[in-house]
Structures are given as structure tokens and as C-alpha cells.
Structure 1
């Protein structure tokens, strides 16, 4: 769990933490991030707050969703799934 500052909204603090984890490679491109229930539990926030964090990450192109599979860290260049290396094809 993270410590919430009194001058910061919870969703902003969680958004900042998720982005930090993406930047540092803790959450790698193409790998899943926690869904709403797990994020809510981990950070001690409401599921609606977790949904807002996910929506903000989606709008910014930091993550992408695959229907029926989950939400994944986006390739920073494309804002979507990692590009396949096509040199070998």
C-alpha cells in the first residue's frame, strides 16, 4: 500500500504509482497490470477509484485492453501492444 498525501486525491496518487511501476520496469510492456478488484485491494481504494485510474491510463495510452484477457502495459511508441520484430519474417 502507498501513503496518501493530504494534498493529493487518491486516484492521482495511485495513477502516479502505477506510472512509476511502468517506468521502472516493474510492470513491463505487454504484461498485465492489476485489474480493478486487485488494484482496489492493494491500494485500499474503492473499485470506482481503481476504474478511474485505469481509464486515465487508457486515455493517456499507457495501457491497452484485450477483451476477455485483461489490461496490459502499452508500447510507449504505439500506445498499444508491443510491436513484433518483423526482421525474421
Structure 2
């Protein structure tokens, strides 16, 4: 039977994390160091930025705006079925 590659990936991730004390910043720095020392060329992409908000794509309410609804003591009508 072919071993599950997911188990091997998890094992490697755990080993690398343990070597860096499970500190994400140390893990990233160690990865960058390994890339520099490997002599290979790596592609670094610029960070992705969200597209500008257009008239058809906007939040339902502005930040900080709180909508309050009045509460009445009347029961809700039954749902249509």
C-alpha cells in the first residue's frame, strides 16, 4: 500500500516547527535563510492588494455605524409555507 503523503508532510511541518520553537517568525526566517543558502533562484511576488471599492461593491454599513432596531411586543406573523 502506498503511504499517505499527508502524514509525511505533517511530520516534516512538526519537525520544522519544533526546531524553531513553533514561533512563526523564526520559522519564516529559517525558511528564508535556507533559500539564500541553497543557491537557487526564488520568485518573490508583491503583496496582493484588494481591488478598489466600486459603486456595485461596498459594505452594507460603514465602520462605526451601528443600526438599532425598534423592538415591539407583538408576536411575529406565521411564516408562509
Regarding TM over 0.5, the answer is no
**TM-score scaled by length of structure 2:** 0.29
Higher relative contact order, structure no. (Cα contacts within 8 Å, ≥ 6 residues apart)? 1
**Greater helix proportion:** 1
**TM-score scaled by length of structure 1:** 0.27
Q: Which has the larger radius of gyration?
A: 2
